[in-house]
Structure 1
Amino acid sequence: MSVTTVPIPPIKKGSMTKLWVGLVLVLLFAGTLAYAGTQSAVETGASNEQFLANNADEDGVITTDSGLQYKVLKPGEGPSPTATDTALVKYEGSLRDGTIFDANEQAPMPVGGVVPGFSEALQLMQKGGEYRIWIPSELGYGEQSPGPELPANSVLIFDVTLIDFISAEQMQELQQQMQQMQQQGQMPGQ
């Protein structure tokens, strides 16, 4: 009985290098996909603590002692408002999954009369400043849900622009002027 041998042709020069380069590219691509999948899981499926811990490692993100996280998108100028001031802000609020739950182009807000995380962030800003803030649920609404669009224990994400602010004294003067105008029957614009 004879055994027939099949000759194996020699490998062409450079083929092994191409094979290794291809293998490295496939592994890099797979690693990139795995990283992107992990990031998405951290953003949507991970716990609030895991999400905020991952976010804290992002470029430019600052975490305060309270746990509030912020990133200066555009610095402002001048002094910062205090808790007794009233701020005029532009904002857009969203959840971790990107769902926008509130937005306003010009909203007057008592700095000390909003959720603690938002109040803290406003007191860090200056006029004209634009910040992105991440408010942990305990500095937001916590276990209380203010409405169906905001689930309990949500991390709140805001893009905020501080347009202007006035002191409590200036606000009181404006209110008195408005009351005097109403009593005299003079409404603005009449």
Structure 2
Amino acid sequence: MRTTPSGLQYTILKKGSGPKAETGKEILLFETTSYRNGTVLYSNENSTSPVKVLIGGNQATQAVDEALVGMRAGEIKKIIAPPYLVKRKDYPENVHPDSTLVIKMILHKIL
């Protein structure tokens, strides 16, 4: 596990290929978000519909935006995000605001 200056921890589970994702680019993403104990809060990983995200466009949490930068298509990254990097305006019922979250991200495509 590597730790960034913000406190985000990550490991690359599978390397991708092609150009690197960067701030201002739109990407298609599959992800699974869970608590550290393994309880899954959200997943689109087994669907055929990736989520479109504009990196740096306030469409994802700070943790996801940070982790996406530098990823390549096909790359799989696991991040451990402290509560201050996954703050949201509104929380789904199943997500506690003070939780550290584990997010498995699969960068499907850079648009």
- Taking structure 2 as the reference length, the TM-score comes to 0.86
Q: How does 1:14-163 map to 2 (within 5 A)?
A: 61-105=1-45, 106-112=50-56, 113-141=59-87, 146-163=91-108
* Structure 1 unmatched ranges of 5 or more: 1-60, 167-190
**Residues 121-142 of structure 1: per-residue CA shift (max 9 Å, x gap):** 0113111101111111111117
The DSSP-based 3-state class of the residue aligned with 2:41 is strand
Distance 2:98 2:91 in 1: 11
- Taking structure 1 as the reference length, the TM-score comes to 0.52
- Larger CA Rg, structure 1 vs 2: 1
* Structure 2 unmatched ranges of 5 or more: none
Question: 1:145 Cα shift?
Answer: 5.4
Question: 1:152 Cα shift?
Answer: 1.1
**Structure with more relative contact order (C-alpha pairs < 8 Å, separation 6 or more):** 2
Distance 2:91 2:109 in 1: 27
Give 2:93's aligned amino acid.
Answer: P
Identity %: 30
Q: Is the 8 A contact 1:95 1:101 kept in 2?
A: yes
Distance 1:136 1:80 in 2: 25
Give 2:77's aligned amino acid.
Answer: Y
The DSSP-based 3-state class of the residue aligned with 2:95 is coil
Aligned length in residues: 105
**Residues 27-55 of structure 1: per-residue CA shift (max 9 Å, x gap):** xxxxxxxxxxxxxxxxxxxxxxxxxxxxx
